[in-house]
Amino acid sequence: MLKLYDVDTAKKTILKRQPLNTQQVPEKIKRGVEEIFGNGVSPTQAVGQIMASVRDEGDAALQRWSQVLDHTDLDTFLIPAEELEDAYRHLPEDIKDALDTAVERIRDFHQRQPLPDWTTTDMGGSLGQRVTPVQRAGVYVPGGTAPLPSSLLMSVIPAQVAGVKRVIVTTPPNPDPTILASAQLCGIEEVYQIGGAQAIAAMTFGTESVPKVDKIVGAGNLFVTIAKQQAYGIVGLDGLAGPTETMVIADESANPEWVASDLLAQAEHDVLASAILLTPSRKLALAVQREVAQQVETLSRVEIILQSLENKGGAVITPDLKTAAKLADDYAAEHLCLAVKDPVGLAEKINNAGGFFLGDHSFEVLGDYVAGPSHIMPTGGTARFASPLNVMDFVKISSMVALDPDTGKDLSPTAALIARVESLTAHAASADFRSES
């Protein structure tokens, strides 16, 4: 069930990264696309049709795609405020308390992130940067096989902390009440029941009822990701989410029961999710393998877990922790869990991870819900250059240039000379006028 790998084999299989745009589309999805859009139509082409129709036809296209793709007839997409209030009012008290705790910790964490404006007068006049929030942000909350109110919290709250004036949420039709209740808890007034690529199109172009936004955040399925690719440059994006992934580095001190549970928690997300253990202890790997086999029998999403472990999971036996750290750095996992004697020391040897989870009591599931940082993290190896969703995703930096007259005049000949090197004579002339004044 949980296969064991040596390092060389793992590099050729479960540790080998494949670019998102070259990953093979499952046959089931291909067939579904062709049934609706015609033979030979790829998911990318299908999404292109959806995007173009929403751009050109607005709400009429949204209604049509809701019928065709979601089998739902909708006269209006905006969920009434009273439905949000009702969903929250009818939540069991223990769930209310849990969501309250999550909101408090997520907000507290993000409020600590500095967003400094700065100026200097040391360069002749005044130079600096001004940080301002985007005006409208769109949050996509997936529906799929499980309701994800946590994804709403993890996306909406950083935007609110950043000062975004208008945050809208889109989610597939007939959303789970916990998603509506979470929106109410966060003070969100606009939740639109639109799913998939058509939701991304609506937020990208705007329709009669859905506002155009400045930036779209939130993970989704293959079609949502393709739609975000096609929206790039028209709106800002947080990134392109691939299948979720967890890597655990463990030594002989780790609790095999806990390590197994962490791997299974990741594998139950999706048949394409990755749950990988790196350890220099073959004894531990075997114990984790046994625990996985025992624990999976008690879980509700066993079929998904088994496919995930078969496709992308495994335990890699490494010569030592140094090798494990190098493999983890190269892999650049979304979640990197360090179940070792010295997690802080090992973390210092690794640059690339969306989030570091240090020690047995800082396990990834806490990060999914209540630790504080957003659980929307870079996947597919993009942790080499990308960051988890944070307040900075919802602001932009403007350069502020206010040079004094003497500095402007002194710098003009230098600017003119560089302009002539570039054969831009109008640029040079503009500078020359100032230097001669």
Q: What angle do CA 203, 140, 90 make, to 5 degrees?
A: 120
Under 8 Å between Cβ of 34 and 133: no
> Which one is catalytic: 334, 348, 364, 436?
334
Beta pairing partners, 128: 119, 400
Alpha-carbon distances of 79 from 66, 145, 173, 268, rounded to whole Å: 15, 21, 10, 30
Under 8 Å between Cβ of 272 and 307: no
Under 8 Å between Cβ of 272 and 311: yes
CA distance 14 to 313: 7
CA distance 400 to 394: 19
For residue 334, indicate whether it is catalytic: yes
Q: What angle do CA 49, 54, 57 make, to 5 degrees?
A: 115
Q: Are strands 355-358 and 335-339 parallel, antiparallel or unpaired?
A: parallel
CA distance 437 to 190: 55
Q: Please, which residues have CB within 8 angstroms of residue 433's CB and are 6 or more apart in sequence?
A: none
Here the tokens at position 385 are 């250059």
Can you list the positions of beta strands (E) in 124-239? 126-133, 136-140, 166-171, 191-193, 215-217, 236-237
Under 8 Å between Cβ of 383 and 333: yes
> Which one is catalytic: 110, 335, 364, 375?
335
For residue 335, indicate whether it is catalytic: yes
Residue that the structure tokens 């890699």 belong to: 316
Short-list 153, 176, 313, 325, CA closest to 251: 325
CA distance 404 to 415: 16
CA distance 49 to 55: 10
Alpha-carbon distances of 312 from 243, 331, 388, rounded to whole Å: 10, 13, 22
Under 8 Å between Cβ of 82 and 235: no
- The catalytic residues are 334-335
